[in-house]
Structure formats: structure tokens, C-alpha cells
Amino acid sequence: MSAIKLLSTLAVMGAMRDLARRFEAETGAAIQADFSPTVALLERLRAGETADAAILTAQGVEELIAEGVLRPGSRMDVALSFVGLAVKAGAPRPPIRSVAELTDSLLAARCVAYSRIGASGLYFAALLQRLGIADAVNARALVVPSGFTAERLVSGEADLAVQQVSELMVVPGIEVIGPLPREVQTVATFSAGLLTDRPEAAALLRFLAGPKAAAALRASGLEPAGNPANG
């Protein structure tokens, strides 16, 4: 049996490490996963790259279903994700409980790292404009082309990193301060869809969206899509 080829957003990478092992143990079907930001995955899939399944933002899945790339009716919501901030392990943890505290902490930071094309980075860039601090923060910001922004904390290039909480948690040597304040938080739904009719791929989607995946999702900083957090 050939491995299930999965193209997946970085946001679920931490959870998939455990879930892929468990799925293979239960079914005997291995998973060959390729992780990248959703924007990059959308470009690759639209260019004709082949796979059995994909995990993207819910909007991305719906777009590809409408375009005939993903199979109609195959969307399954997997996880809810929240944008958060992190510092290097052992570093002071600036307050971000309110919008005022968040604004002050961003302005006080030596350098803030956020992503250029990831969902969190696009949202954060717009948030800086809403808060009226875009010019001040971006003058000292490190906009990461792709990958995990928290790596720039470990290297010492930045002292604050912004990304999906689940993506921050993938990087060792950092500490997540917490999510953005409720008033300026955005909740991303990550969904899966099928490109082929392989039964193993359909079984994978049911597994990821089902109750057996809930604990691993929560441990990685996500919430199961069917049971959103209240915080």
C-alpha cells in the first residue's frame, strides 16, 4: 500500500506528528506529509501538484472545491487556531491581556517577527494598521518569508514572535505568552479535503476530524473544530 500523500498547512504540523503515528498503527496506512503555508499550498495545487488530501484554511478548501481541484463534498473541518505571541524561553513576558497592553508591548519590542504569507502574518499586518502602529512596529520588524517565526527568537534576531499558537509551539526553546486579546483575536478554521478517491485518504480525514484526534490537537495549541475554546 502506497503512503497517503498529504499537503498540509504548518498550523497542524505539531499535532500531525502524533496523529500520523496513531493513524498508521490503527490502519496500516502510512502518511507522507508535506507542510507549508496555506498560500504556498494553494499555488502548488492550482499549478497541478498531485496529492491524496490537503489541509488548508476553510476558505482555501472551499475555493479549491469550487475550482474543481478538491473533490466536491469532501471538506471536513479539523481544527480551530488562534494567533498568539511568544518570547525566547526565560525572557521577560510582556503583558498582552488587553489591547492597550498589546499595543504598548509591540511598541516596546526591539524586533517583532511575523510571517509574510501565512494566515497569521497577513492578519497581524492588517491589525497593526488598525491599531495605528504599523509604521513604528514595521520599522523594526522581521517579516519572515515562510516557516516558523519563533525560530527568530531562538536565534536572537527578534524578542517577540507572532504566529498561530500551534506553530509557535513547534519550536523548542520558546515560551508562548498567550493568544491575542479577545477583542482583536481571529479564529482560523483549518479544514481538509480530498483530491483522490482513495479510501485510505477518506479514512484519514474522518480520523483527523473525529474525537480520537482531539487530545493531540489540544496538546499542540489547537482546538478540535467541533468543540471551540471559550477563551
Q: Is the pLDDT of residue 221 over 90?
A: yes
Domains of the chain, CATH where assigned: 4-80+187-224 (3.40.190.10), 81-184 (3.40.190.10)
Distance CA 98, CA 155 (A): 28
Over residues 46-54, the mean pLDDT reads 97
In the predicted model, is pLDDT for residue 229 greater than 60? no
Q: In the numeric block, which cell numbers belong to residue 157?
A: 534576531
pLDDT tens, 69-112? 999 999 999 999 999 999 999 999 999 999 999 999 999 999 99
In the predicted structure, residue 227 carries a pLDDT above the cut 70: no
pLDDT at 57: 93
Residues counted in the chain: 231
Supply the pLDDT for residue 1: 75
Whether the per-residue pLDDT at 14 is higher than 80: the answer is yes
Q: CA 221 to CA 10: how far, in whole Å? A: 13
User: How confident is the model over 151-197, as pLDDT tens digits?
Assistant: 999 999 999 999 999 999 999 999 999 999 999 999 999 999 999 99
Q: Sorting pLDDT into bands at 50, 70 and 90, what band is 116?
A: confident
Question: What residues contact residue 178 under an 8 Å CB cut-off, 6+ apart?
Answer: 84, 85, 96, 97
Rounded Cα distance, 1 and 165, in Å: 35
Nearest to 85 by CA among 12, 25, 158: 158
Give yes or no for a contact between 216 and 15, defined as CB atoms under 8 angstroms apart: yes
Share above pLDDT 70 across residues of the chain, in percent, rounded to a whole number: 98
Percent of the chain whose pLDDT exceeds 90: 90
Q: Is the pLDDT of residue 119 over 50?
A: yes
Helix (H) or strand (E) holding 229: none
Q: Is the pLDDT of residue 228 over 70?
A: no
Task: Count Cβ atoms within 10 A of the Cβ of residue 198 and give its class: 0-12 exposed, 13-18 middle, 19 or more buried.
Answer: middle
pLDDT band at 37 (very low <50, low <70, confident <90, very high): confident
